[in-house]
Structure formats: structure tokens, C-alpha cells
Chains A and B, each alone.
Chain A
Amino acid sequence: MNESAGGVDLQEETSGTVKKFMFVNRKAPYGTVYALEGLEVVLISAAFDQDVSMVFIDDGVYELVKGQNTKAIGMKNFSPTYRALEGYDIEKLYVDEESLAARGLTTEKLLVPVEVLNTAQMAELMDQQDVVISF
């Protein structure tokens, strides 16, 4: 198995095709495993040279909050990984305006630069995608 591309021989299987992939993050970073395992897929997708974007909606906006400290719950703080996304050329990060406001958050409280979209803009962006995977 080719580890770097998650079990796929890139040259043979997907050469040339570039699709718009959107990963929709809807869950808080801890409490369930969705955010952590979702991030794994995003990182693997980088190896396929696709047009990748990530959106953060509902409790998913908590994934990006600065200063996470997980000591008391005995789980790994994986939030630094979001800062590393840039190094994988994953730079299109979008946050839902209403979700942010409803939780008393602002972009200053987030650990990476994001673009804030309202519901209509988010819908339009989703409509443009070829593949939408939600976590």
C-alpha cells in the first residue's frame, strides 16, 4: 500500500483530473471523533492535487478556536494541524457567519485566517463543488 496517498497509485488512477472538493466540518473538535478523522481525509486529499476547500459550520467553528487545552479530558490537542494546512496548499477556509456569531466568536479568536461567508454565499460555494464530504 502506498502510504503517502492512502493506498492509491496516484499516477495510474487519477492523473489529470482536478475536481473541486469541499470538506464540511460541522462538529466540535472533541466529544466525537468526526473533526479529527475528517482532518485526516483533508490531509490525504492534498496528495491528489485537487481543488480543496474546507468550510466550518455549526459547532464546527469551534475546531478553529485559538488556545485549545485538552489536558483535562485526556485527548490530543490536534488544533495545531489547522495551522499546518497552508503547507499542504490547503488555503481555502470558509466559516459560516451565523454559526460564528451564535457562539460569540469572531475571526480574531480563530487560529488561522478564514473567509467569512453568509448563508447565501455558502450555498453558492457549495453549489459550485464537484464533491462535498461532510463530517
Chain B
Amino acid sequence: MKFGLMVSEGPYTHQASDTAFKFAAAALEKGHQIDRIFFYHDGVNNATRLTEPPQDDRHIVNRWSALAEQHGIDLVVCVAAALRRGIKDEILPKGFRISGLGQLVETGIQSDRLVVFGD
């Protein structure tokens, strides 16, 4: 099955992005396809390479980058939501790009299932 994902909450404060990551990894492991993950609301805070968690904690941002590289997933951050929260091209981690909300609607159209991870 072809999945699209939307992540609506920031890392560490909320479990949404952890759950989204676990879901994505499990789906890929089972042979499903994920073309795009769209980050909206505070979810855009998943997309800053300034993130530096303590060494004994998971690195949520780098984890996304690695997954995207391994499986060719398009990590898209909403431009309006990103700019509002200080997320800009110059601090984007590897594998992320900034684009418009149309990318979310397009994913809804092209995927068999769009799964929303939020509050």
C-alpha cells in the first residue's frame, strides 16, 4: 500500500513524531511504500539541524534524515508554518525541503491512505 504521512506536532514535547516515525519504519519494513511525509503546525520543528538532544536520548531529526535517505522519502515542510516558527532553508536538515500546502493535498490524492499524526 502507498502511504502518505502528516506530522502535526513538534519533536520531544509530543509523541506524534515518534509514533509517525515508528509507523513509517514498520510500514516500510512490511514492504509498503511511503513517498512523502508532510510536516505542518509545530511539526515543522522536526526540520531544524540546530536540534541537539542529550546523548542518551533519541535524535528525532537525524532519524528522519536517515530514514528518508534509506528509502527515498520526500520530507516536506510547509512554508507558511515554517517561516512563522523560524524554520528556514539555511537550517534544514538533510533530506528535508520547504514547499507549499499543495504538497499535502497532492499526497492525499496520490496515496492510498493519508495518515495524520497529531494531538
Contact = CB atoms under 8 A, between A and B. Distances in A.
Interface of A: 1-3, 5-8, 10, 13-14, 17, 19, 21, 33-34, 37, 40-41, 44-45, 47-48, 50, 130-135
Contact of B41 (A1, A2, A34): A34
B116 A40 contact: no
B106 to A, nearest CB: 5
Contacts, number: 81
A41 B105 contact: yes
B59 to A, nearest CB: 26
B108 A21 contact: yes
Contacts of B116: 132-134
Interface SS of chain B: helix
Contacts of A135: 8, 41, 118
B102 A50 contact: no
A6 B102 contact: yes
Interface string B94-118: 0000011111111011100010101
B101 A44 contact: yes
Interface of B: 6, 8, 40-41, 79-81, 99-106, 108-110, 114, 116, 118-119
Contacts of B41: 33-34, 37, 135
Contacts of B104: 6, 41, 44, 133
A19 B113 CA distance: 12
A45 B103 CA distance: 10
A44 B110 contact: no
